[in-house]
Structure 1
Amino acid sequence: MSPVSSNQPIASRPRVVHFSSVHSADDVRILHKEGKSLAAEGYDVNFVVPHTQDEERDGVRIHAVPIPKNRRERTTRTVWQVYRKVLGLKPQVAHFHDPELIPVGMLLKMRGIRVVYDVHEDYSATMMDKEWLPLPVRWLARAGVVGFESAGCAMFDQIITATEGIAERMPPKKTVPVQNFPMLAEFPTAGGVPYSSRDNVVVFVGGLGLIRGAKEMVEAIQLVPDHLNPKLLIVGPLEPPVSPEWIAAIDVKKRVTWGGVKRRHELKDIFGVARCGIIAFLPLKNHLNAQPNKMFEYMAAGLPLVASDFPYMRKVTDGARCGISVDPLSAQSIADAMQWIFEHPAEAEEMGKRGRAAVESEYTWESQRQRLVACYQRLTARNGAQILSQHA
């Protein structure tokens, strides 16, 4: 049974406040997975975030702070506004998602609030990927991030990480990985265009910039033979310098469409017309063991993968036999994988089916939701060691 009942008045439920200064109000992990899962368990779930208005979505109340105009404003004024808003909500548990909010987490902890640090990325690794900085500066920045996180983690009640790799560098006694596996209900296998009848469309979903292989993907689709009539569909926000004009300048054969930003419920229709999903992240340190949401979402939708040949992604694609690993720095390598999928539709469809089966058996959000709920049962129990109830 659940630790709390959703039929209780809001005032009597444990109040949880997620907060972020960086992410959007529609963030998949924060809102759609963690927030909605906790609301379904009966918690009073709130989300403080830069947004245009206060609103409620599926039991999660969104509390807006002004959207910052630039990074400097975000790391100063926005951080302060987020802190004041969270404090005013008087949470039992405060759950934050950005390293720049570690000082806010410390202040809340000193006020007796239980604090959760949700680590989405290996932030120390990202410091080493900033190639515009001299190497000694990068090492100093990395050491600073490690020290900053260590000081905060020593104070916080719970550390949640998006991957098992990140969890390995966190305090083991208070760290639980809650991975970004898909919610199967969002990706029904029924419906959509039958795979054998689909056009030769490659889909990329998510934020796209240079480090995520924008140039290589656009160049690759140009190299696929003309008789296959290949298309690349990009869905999600574009990160400068990538823009519709930037894409048009290198899309010499007019094969690329930017579909804009879509809502979650629209993804199943997009996936339902595609032949494969692509992840062509460049080989930055923070990417080598990444577990992109989109990889598992493509698999859940029954799409074969074209994925960067990195350790974790190869482990998934080889283990499930659900895709082709490519050199993300080689447009030709990417194009060859696309061409193979287009020219072998029966084999590609079987790849997609194996990917879906792997998600159903190994990579579902339900398994991670249970970990999240167990953490909150401990955090909101009168005795921190007591678990109010157990789920089967």
Structure 2
Amino acid sequence: MKICHMTSVHPYNDIRITVKECSSLVEAGFEVHLIAPNTSVENFQGIKVHGLLNPYKGRFKRANFFTRKVYLKALELDADIYHFHDPELLKTGIMLKKQGKKVIYDVHEDVPRQILNKHWIPKPIRKVTSFAFEKYENNIVRKLDAIVTATPYIEDRFKKYNHNVINVSNFPILNELYIGDKQIGKENSVVYIGGITKERGSLVMVGAIEKTIGTLELAGKFVNENEKKILEILPSWETKVNYHGFLNREGIKNTLSRSKAGLVVLEPRLNFIDSLPIKMFEYMAAGIPVIASDFPVWKEIIEMNKCGICVDPLNVEEISKAIQWIFSNPQEATTMGENGRRAIETIYNWETESEKLIKLYEKLN
């Protein structure tokens, strides 16, 4: 079976699209092609990569012009199944269906809820934009062959519109990040890895670490440079924060191995509350405790597996106390890390999730 994955936004080596999904399909014996923007790489882990130059600046031009290039390349490849990963490719999916192709939509995020928090959309029109996009998305997914979702919450939403919906959670690859779960000998530091914004807890993390004996290992890109400037003038930035910028997977593994806990203290926003943030599971995979927002879905996972501490993500004092507790109780923290790792090995791992994806392809063949 010849399979073509398509993205107009993500890099050719995206973790979910390429390292996990496409690589798993190659291992299962499929011929896998990937259309991705702005890369000269032609082969990645057995995946045939087709890089397309995107000369357009801004979201509007990309969505209206570059997606046409993606469609034409997809047609040229003449695959058996097409699997796209970006909402702006919904029209491309329908065009491929009209050509008699089998098409899968991979929904990474709950986009209508995301729109409500997009800073680049003027606030007065966010609600109507969210409503209009949801109607558009729901109408198109009725006509596609299958929907793959990244969380059970998104899965439940789309089951009303398509009979062939499966959830494939973005859980960690079992052996990618694990070194060991002992706390003794590690630095008094906690880590956050991911996109850095106020909504994802940047201000409260820096504020909380100031009240402890340790440091914050901060890795990732700032979505807004103005927010970086706000953090840089805080007294604790120079003395208590080690900012690493963007790290590759080996850099992430090394940073996790030095840290005593991982932070995922996202604000209680609609698009976060029912999400399953990969960083939370990556901390568990690395064998370190999690300090996480007390959202019901997250709290159930953490308390059921006894692998961390849930906090009010808006309460700096509460986050600070949780961090200090980890530093002051190394044996208990080690047990939490071991529990989290055990949960990854038995439940929350990519190896288990990939089986669902392979079965879907076999079903569509």
Map of 1:181 onto structure 2: 171
Q: Counterpart of 1:176 in structure 2: which amino acid?
A: I
Is 1:197 the counterpart of 2:197? The answer is: no
Q: Which amino acid aligns with 2:184?
A: S
Q: C-alpha separation between the residues in 2 aligned to 1:199 and 1:181?
A: 27
How far apart in 2 are the matches of 1:15 and 1:249?
A: 53
Q: What residue number does 2:141 align with?
A: 153
Flag as ranges the 4+ runs of structure 1 deviating above 4 A: 130-135, 242-246
Q: Which moved more, 1:281-290 or 1:81-90?
A: 81-90
Deviations 1:4-62 (A, max 9, x none): xxxxxxxxxx2211111222222111011101000111111121112232331111122
Question: Deviation at 1:289?
Answer: 0.9
1:152-177 CA-partner distances (Å, limit 9, x unpaired): 11111010000111010113521000
Local SS of the residue matching 1:186 = coil
Conserved 8 A contact 2:198-2:227: no
Q: Is 1:237 aligned to 2:221, yes or no?
A: yes
Instruction: Name the count of aligned residue pairs.
Output: 360
CA distance in structure 1 between the partners assigned to 2:256 and 2:193 by the alignment: 9
Q: Does the 8 Å contact 2:12/2:39 carry over to 1?
A: no
SS in 2 for 1:209: coil
Taking a change above 3 Å as real, the CA distance of residues 165 and 245 of structure 1, as seen in their structure-2 partners, is same
How far 1:326 sits from its partner (Å)? 1.3
Unpaired runs of 5+ in structure 2?
Answer: none
Change in CA separation of 1:245 and 1:129 when aligned onto 2, cut-off 3 Å: closer
* Contact 1:207–1:237 (8 Å) recurs in 2: yes
1:267 aligns with 2:255: no
Cα distance in structure 2, aligned partners of 1:296 and 1:26: 20
Q: Deviations along 1:86-122, whole A, 9 cap, x unmatched?
A: 2222111110111111001000111111100001111
Whether 1:72 and 2:55 are equivalent positions in the alignment is no
Superposed, which structure 2 residues align to 1:371-382 within 5 Å? 371-380=356-365
The CA distance in 1 between the partners of 2:30 and 2:205, in whole Å, is: 43
Determine the structure 1 residue equivalent to 2:104. Answer: 116
1:249 aligned residue (209, 215, 233): 233
Distance 1:15 1:30 in 2: 16
Aligned residue type for 1:73: K
2:221 is aligned with what amino acid?
A: P
CA distance in 1, matches of 2:23, 2:306: 32
Tell me the equivalent position of 1:18. 5
Counterpart for residue 41 of structure 2 = 54
Question: Which moved further from structure 2: 61-70 or 300-309?
Answer: 61-70
Asked whether the 8 Å contact 1:180–1:293 carries over to 2, the reply is yes
Q: What 5-or-longer segments of structure 1 have no aligned partner? A: 1-13, 381-392
Say which of 12, 18, 23 aligns to 1:36.
23
CA distance in 2, matches of 1:33, 1:128: 29
1:27 aligns with 14
